[in-house]
Amino acid sequence: MSDTLMVIKQLDVSFQTREGLVQAVDGATLELKHGRIFGLIGETGSGKSVLGLSLVRLLPAHASVSGSLLYKGKDLLQLSPKEMRQIRGREIALIPQNPASSLNPVMTLGSQLREAIRAYAGRTGSKRLNAQAAGLLHAMNMPDAEQQLRRYPFQLSGGMKQRVLAAMGLAGSPSLLIADEPTKGLDALIRVQVTEMLANMARRTGAALLLITHDLDVARVLCDEVGVMYAGQIIEQGPAKELFAQPMHPYTRGLIASMPSRGMIPIAGTAPSLTDRPAGCKFYDRCGSAMPRCEAEQPDLYKSAHTEITNKETEPIDGTAKGQQAAAKHKARCFLYA
Amino acid sequence: MLEIIELHKRYRSNWLTGRGHQAVEPATFHIAEGESLGLVGESGSGKSTLARLLLKLISADGGRILYKGTDISGYSLKQMRPLRRELQIMFQHPHSALNPRRTLLDSLLEPVLLHRIMNKAAAREKALALLDVVGIRAELLPRYPHQISGGQIQRIVIARALMLEPKFLVLDEPTSMLDVSVQAQVTQLLQRIRKEFGLTYLFISHDLELVRHMCDRIGVMKEGRIVELDESERIMERPQHPYTKQLVNAFQAFKQ
């Protein structure tokens, strides 16, 4: 299909540490499409940020990565570091997680933005550079963009720093943008602003957006498709609206029930350690509907039984047949659907 | 239990504008015994400053604080010391809440030993009993803060506060750094111990939905001013102030 930008197949990432082998990502398979937002949700330590970093090959050297990352037909894992540098930032950009520590504290925003633009666009006059930098900030709804260029990161609030980082990410007009927790630590009103800005960006430029978040509301409202990660695996995947309306996996159901707006009913227990993951289903110890086979056997991704019905019920969004083709893909790694 | 009258604070600065910044405009409200009062507002709206003012962790420019009918606004540090047991605060960042070079057990015992309430053996016994309440296994005690998760740290912090048998707790965004499922666990714990120990809460958060769940009444702050204070349901159903409306709408936007 022509709108597919990147296909990630059976991606495994592990780290050798003193405590043992940490399997951070286990068999992740997903597709990123032009103009679409794929949300990766999950809790701290579920492997979502590692997955994001592995797409731009920014993992530490001791990480071992296997599987394939087909970007426009090329496997990124086979590229040389030099070839990868041509793609990183220019074609695939990453908005890092921590706005406070991702900007250089002793450089003005302007010089940091100009540096990013120059890296991708080559030499240009300083006036043009400044105008472009201001334009990027302006596109992020930053008030007084020109004045902001002379300021330092410490003079900005968290939400503003987040927008500067997003602007830097967009400097190379990438076709895939990976945003790692863009709304973390932001308050309600800014959360709405930042998310809308990212969604508009994807729709306007036709870039694909991989949104890594633990903010379930943001994922539901913003994303076209969502993958839920738990202990390194994508345990459920499907169209956002359907996944939140009819979650399949017991973990997803528990996660949704623990949201403040859904009554905050906690899931018992804690996530397994990544060095010592259970052999069967990773959610086995905490699951209310566990069966004997779940302990030893690893479930595959099974399709939803409701797919046929929901197929007709889901109205196509944005006038495309997305509702239909996407609904067919709602699946979960759970024997309940085997 | 607490009555706040015209309490205010101004931070002076001359490095940027040469002017000062009114962090908290004169605020007047009360917190009843056993109540849970929520304080919401965006970052920088003065929520935390107000909470620190009423605990006298920072000094106010003016106004009065009545605790159980006594005016404590003029109290010296020494006079405050016995009250510190009863009035406590739990901070936002789990990783700066505990001394990284001390074991969890040391951190748990430190307050009681400082207040010279009991000897070490008795304190230890009490700590173990409280660990049961907050759901932490005793095996974790010899560990250091970096070896446990954020949710576990917040449980230890809760246990540490309970060691001194507090009456009033300021919870300054206690769950904002936690995952949703852990947040649900910690808030459930906070609600349980409020009933069990008869505590009064001032709950600070920017998550309106969470505050509604935790609190009887909600105060909304903007630019240092409490713009609206009412029962939680009324704030959510019929917000009066334009800013409150905006805030409620931002949450409604995510509900559809």
The tens digit of pLDDT for each residue in A209-256 reads 999 988 888 899 889 999 999 999 999 999 999 999 999 999 999 999
Q: Strands A92-95, A331-332: parallel, antiparallel or unpaired by DSSP?
A: unpaired
pLDDT band at residue A315 under the 50/70/90 scheme: very low
Chain A residues in contact with B183 (beta carbon < 8 A):
258, 260, 264
Report the greatest alpha carbon distance in chain A.
Answer: 68
Integer Cα distance of A46 and B184 in angstroms: 18
Q: Report which of residues A119 and A106 the model is more confident about.
A: A106
Instruction: Give me the pLDDT at residue A2, please.
Output: 59
pLDDT at A49 over 70: yes
pLDDT band at residue A15 under the 50/70/90 scheme: very high
A229 located within any domain: yes
Instruction: Give me the pLDDT at residue A123, please.
Output: 74
Instruction: Give me the pLDDT at residue A318, please.
Output: 46
Report the run of H or E that residue B133 belongs to, with start and end.
Answer: helix B120-134
Nearest CA-CA distance, residue A14 and chain B, Å = 21
Chain A residues in contact with B181 (beta carbon < 8 A):
43, 254-255, 258, 266-267
What are A35's two structure tokens? 């103009």
pLDDT band at residue A185 under the 50/70/90 scheme: low
Q: How much is the pTM?
A: 0.84
Domain with A217, as residue range(s), is 4-91+174-337
Instruction: Give me the pLDDT at residue B94, please.
Output: 79
Instruction: Give me the pLDDT at residue A248, please.
Output: 95
Question: How many domains does chain A divide into?
Answer: 1
Residue A189: which of B150, B212, B247 has the nearest Cβ? B247
Instruction: Give me the pLDDT at residue A5, please.
Output: 93
What is the signed CA dihedral for A117, A121, A123, A124, rounded to 10 degrees?
Answer: -70
Report, as ranges of residue numbers, the positions in chain B whose pLDDT lies below 50. Answer: none
Query: With an 8 Å Cβ cutoff, are B253 and A192 in contact?
Result: yes
- The answer to whether the beta carbons of residues B225 and B193 sit under 8 Å apart is no
Q: Which residues contact residue A111 at a Cβ distance below 8 angstroms, ignoring those fewer than 6 apart?
A: none
pLDDT at A312 over 60: no
* Overall CATH class of domain B2-253: alpha beta
Instruction: Give me the pLDDT at residue A327, please.
Output: 45
How confident is the model over A50-72, as a mean pLDDT? 93
CATH of the domain at A12: 3.40.50.300
How far, rounded to the nearest angstrom, does the alpha carbon of residue B60 sit from its chain's CA centroid? 18
A116 located within any domain: no
The tens digit of pLDDT for each residue in A257-309 reads 999 888 889 898 888 888 888 899 999 999 999 999 999 999 999 988 765 44
